A and B are shown apart, each in its own frame.
Chain A
Amino acid sequence: MWYHKPVINEELLQHLPNLKIVANSGVGIDHLDLNLLASYGVKVSNTPFVVSTDTADLGMALMLASSRRLVEGYQIAVSPDTEYFPADWLGAEVSGATLGIVGMGTIGYKVAERAKAFEMKILYHNRNQRNKEEESAVGAIYCKKIDDLLQQSDFVLLSVNLTPQTHKLIGKRELELMKPTATLINISRGLVVDQDALVEALQNKVIKAAALDVTYPEPLPRDHPLLKLKNVIITPHIGSATKKTRRLMMENMTESIQAGLAGLPVPNEVL
């Protein structure tokens, strides 16, 4: 299964009486009705670990591109109207800034490892606190209340999975708690953010900027305000889009399918 296609619904399942397994590319399975699939005796697998480093890398790429105004800068550098580079044109420093990671799973932790090398101060919010060794290895401070993280961060990075609890986790209230100089980075799922509230927050300078690899829907309608805002970078869900990782994902999926068809324990099965 790639990019949520085909849509797995009751109709499809009824048409495929011998379907044994749905192997999903990537780690997110929010688009699948697990109960429905289980009721038809169909197993489900994902590819949880192979995507982690690429997604963490993209999170860092978005944070750096946004703070240093890389996309705007590129446009200035290549624009036919550019005569000279403006001297008073500045971005914001990443090194030494405060990064708040919301969702400290595998991906969130890898982001922390990378951010530490940029001498960033790292705060994190998670359902559970990580153990002391893990925290001190990346110098991360636990914020039991998300508000504490939001109020102190220069960059807020979302790396949670999408569940009923994380749906619209970042809304008007959360955006207003953020610093007006802060940037929101989303590498999880579009629905984790209240998109309308985000548009308003960006337009009214409640926060400084956003960098989104994910939106809802994907792609956004072509007249959506997010596409026009100067302080927004959007990428087309390329979190795991490298040749090497896609190949590994395919290998994982093939393994899961072969096991599923042979009636053996399925690697990366989602229960």
Chain B
Amino acid sequence: MSKKVQAIYLWWHKPVIDQELLQSLPNLKVIANSGVGMDHLDLKLVASFGVKMANAPRAVSSSTADTGMALLLASARRLVEGYHIAISSGMEYCEADFLGVEVTGATLGIIGMGSIGYKIALRAKAFEMNILYHNRTQRTEHEEQAVGATYCEKIDDLLRQADFVMVVVSLTPQTHKLIGKREMELMKPTATLINISRGAVVDQEALVTALQTGVIRAAALDVTYPEPLPRDHTLLKLKNVIITPHLGIKTDKATYMITEEAVENILAALNGLPMPSEVLPS
């Protein structure tokens, strides 16, 4: 059986691709990943076995951008808390006290302006948000103008001004714990952190402290480290935190498109043709 395997379609990081597996599959030609993040793969190791790799960059961007906006809105307007109040058996709520923060006209800071970050900017613009962004490289003037985004070469400038900080980077050694104690202390105490990239981009312990001591207002996390968190983790208990189970691309449409992209890449690799979204070890 193992001699017949030529392609692996990796779904949610399974199976684990390690030395042992690669050695047991001599005819493996290509690994296609469901989704865009490749941080769970040892790219050099896979390449050393002559196996090609592909991700699915196009299919994920709209769904993930939607998730980012859903979390931003839910956190700002305290939707989950509100739901629990509305359905609770002992509801004697004092409506007048229950307030959230405005989204329209607020300042959004996007960290990581790739395709997903850019789609978030397009959506946020419709909410008349003031958009700042931080990225390894600046986007073209035309792209910036289309969404009304202002480049912050220094992340500190973005952190100081943003009402909502949305983290949309890929996980690399450079972005590991990109948002730590220092960064959170630069944020406004009324600001919200939204993470739709990878849990390890945020220093989780520093986040817990920041949320408990009012250094920032709230957080909304579609990703954590690990996933799921241990059941006794403090983040699960904080009132000003929304956590979702890595919803990023979990829609019927996105999973269909991701599978289509993966199949395209697999067929190209097996036929010795250029792959639409090959990922090379950097």
Q: Could you tell me if A243 and B99 are in contact, using CB atoms closer than 8 angstroms?
A: yes
Type the 1/0 row for A232-249, where 1 means its CB is closer than 8 Å to any CB of B: 011111100111111000
CA A116 to CA B125, docked complex, whole Å? 11
Select the stretch in B47-55, B76-84, B175-183, B203-211 that faces chain A.
B76-84
User: 1/0 per position for B1-44, CB-CB distance to A under 8 A?
Assistant: 00000000001100000000000000000000000000000000
| Contact A80–B231 (Cβ < 8 Å) | yes
Determine if A114 is an interface residue (Cβ-Cβ < 8 Å).
Answer: yes
Per-position contact with B for A48-75: 1 when CB-CB < 8 Å, else 0? Answer: 0000011011101110110111110110
In the complex, the answer to whether A116 meets B126 with C-beta atoms within 8 Å is: yes
* B79 partner, pick from A92, A219, A235, beta carbons under 8 A: A235
B62 x A85 contact (CB < 8 A): no
Contact B62 A235 (CB under 8 A): no
List CB contacts (< 8 Å) of A155-205 with chain B. none
- Report yes or no: A85 in contact with B245, Cβ–Cβ below 8 A: yes
Segment at the interface with A among B64-72, B130-138, B154-162, B274-282: B64-72
Q: Bound complex: CA of A116 vs CA of B73, how far in Å?
A: 17
Smallest beta-carbon distance B168→chain A, Å: 16
Task: Check B83–A241 contact: CB distance below 8 A.
Answer: no
B98 in contact with A61 (CB, 8 Å): no
Known A234-B86, A242-B102; judge A93-B73 contact (CB<8 A).
no
- B123 contacts which chain A residues (CB < 8 A)? 114, 117-118
**Cβ-defined contact, A245 with B102, below 8 A:** yes
| Interface residue ranges of A86-116 to B (CB < 8 Å) | 87, 89-96, 113-116
- In the assembled complex, the CB of B140 is this many whole angstroms from the nearest CB of chain A, namely 20
Given A61-B79, A238-B100: A68 and B245 interface contact (C-beta under 8 Å): no
**Cβ-closest chain A residue relative to B71:** A70
How many Å lie between the Cα of A64 and that of B194 in the bound state? 16
What residues of chain A lie closer than 8 Å to B86, measured between beta carbons? 219, 227, 234-236
Closest-by-CB residue of A relative to B128 is A53
Q: Is B95's CB under 8 angstroms from A64's CB?
A: no
Closest to B80 in A: A74
Of B76, B101, B251, the contact of A91 (CB 8 Å cutoff)? B251
Q: Does B215 contact A (CB under 8 A)?
A: no
In the assembled complex, which residues on chain B have CB atoms less than 8 Å from the CB atom of A85? 227-228, 245-246
Shortest C-beta distance, B124 to chain A (Å), equals 8
Contacts A83-B228, A241-B100 given; indicate if A236 touches B250 (C-beta within 8 A): no
Closest Cβ of chain B to A159, distance in Å, is 16
Please determine whether B99 and A246 come into contact, CB atoms closer than 8 angstroms: yes
Partner of A235, one of B70, B82, B125: B82
B225 contacts partner chain A, Cβ-Cβ < 8 Å:
no
**Contact: B99 with A93, CB < 8 Å?**
no
Task: Report how far A69 CA is from B236 CA in the complex, Å.
Answer: 18
Stretch of B107-115, B252-260, B264-272 lying at the A interface: B252-260
Closest B residue, CB atoms, query A59: B73
Q: How far is the CB of A204 from chain B (nearest CB, A)?
A: 21
Q: Compute how far the CA of A66 lies from the CA of B272 in the bound complex, rounded to whole angstroms.
A: 44
Bound: A61/B74 CA distance, A: 6
In the bound complex, residues from chain A placing their C-beta under 8 Å from that of B73 are 57-58, 60-61, 64-65
A residues within 8 A CB of B273?
Answer: none
Task: Give the residues in chain A near B227, CB-CB below 8 Å.
Answer: 85
Compute how far the CA of A114 lies from the CA of B246 in the bound complex, rounded to whole angstroms. 24
Q: Assuming the A-B contacts A77-B243, A114-B127, A118-B123, are A236 and B251 also in contact, with contact meaning beta carbons closer than 8 angstroms in the complex?
A: no
Give the CA-CA distance A242 to B73 in the complex, in Å: 12
CB contacts under 8 Å to B, within A23-58, are: 53-54, 56-58
Taking CB atoms, residues of chain A closer than 8 Å to B12 are 87
Residues of A within 8 A of B101 (CB): 242-244
Query: Quick check: A94 and B244 within 8 Å, CB to CB?
Result: no
**When the two chains form the complex, which single residue of A76, A114, A235 contacts B245, counting CB atoms closer than 8 Å?**
A76
Q: Which residue of B lies closest to A86 (CB)?
A: B245
The yes or no answer to B171 lying at the interface (CB within 8 A) is no
Whether A145 is near chain B, meaning CB under 8 Å from some CB there, is no
Q: B104: CB under 8 A from chain A?
A: yes
When distances are taken between beta carbons in the complex, the residues of chain A under 8 Å from B77 are 57-58, 61, 235, 238, 241-242
With A and B bound together, what is the CA distance between A62 and B253 in angstroms?
20
CB contacts (< 8 Å) of A56 on chain B: these are: 104
- The verdict on A89 contacting B245 (CB below 8 Å), with A242-B101, A242-B102 known, is yes
Least Cβ distance of A254 to chain B in Å?
17
Residue contacts A-B, CB under 8 angstroms, 19 given: A57-B76, A61-B73, A61-B77, A68-B66, A68-B67, A68-B70, A74-B243, A77-B245, A78-B243, A82-B228, A91-B251, A93-B66, A95-B66, A117-B123, A117-B124, A219-B86, A238-B77, A242-B102, A243-B101
- Apart from A53-B105, A93-B252, A236-B82, 10 more pairs, CB < 8 Å: A56-B104, A57-B127, A64-B69, A70-B244, A85-B227, A90-B251, A92-B251, A115-B126, A222-B89, A245-B102
Closest 4 CB pairs of A and B: A117-B126, A64-B70, A61-B73, A53-B104
